[in-house]
Amino acid sequence: MPGPIDDTLKHLTELSPQDWVVRGGWSAAPATVVDADIATITGASDKVIRVAGPPDWLLAVDFHAGHDAVQLPPKMLLYNAALAKRHDLPVRNLAVVLHRAADSPRLAGTFERGFPGEPPNVTLRYQVVRVWQVPAEQWLAGGLGVLPLAPLGSAQESLVQFL
């Protein structure tokens, strides 16, 4: 709950936002205050799994079948931060690409964001599973949760014999 000091500082920031740019160590530049309310942000990872530790952690799984693979890492970054805040647990992200047409070289396991000419100030590391690259036998042996993906996996001689 905001108190009188919080309210005062917010008001002073509205009066002279450029002062905070300079105080943060950046060059003076024109600055304006924008709405800080992020309650309108919506979205959800496809599924979130709580994993017993130590430490306990969350796995955010996103299944991807569309042609917008470039948009997936920024979404995973948002989900990662929101889930960590909501559950107070570390979060790992897994992108499951369901077919070749949905793939992109931009799904490389790392997403970085920052300013040109500076080191990234945000880095998200994530795992990528490309379903067609996993041998069908592994999908068959992996349990009921992944078994239906076997027909999408890479075919092996032993799978043909199995069927």
Give the pLDDT confidence of 46-98 residue by residue, as tens digits. Answer: 999 999 989 999 999 999 998 888 899 999 999 999 999 999 999 999 999 99
In tens, the pLDDT along 121-147 reads 999 999 999 999 999 999 999 889 899
CA distance 153 to 163: 14
Closest CA to 100 of 133, 56, 136, 54: 133
Sign of CA dihedral 7, 13, 15, 19: positive
Q: What is the pLDDT of residue 52?
A: 92
pLDDT at position 21 over 50 = yes
The pLDDT-based confidence of 11 (bands split at 50, 70, 90) is confident
Q: What is the CA radius of gyration of the chain?
A: 22
Output the CA torsion 72→78→81→87 (10° steps): -90
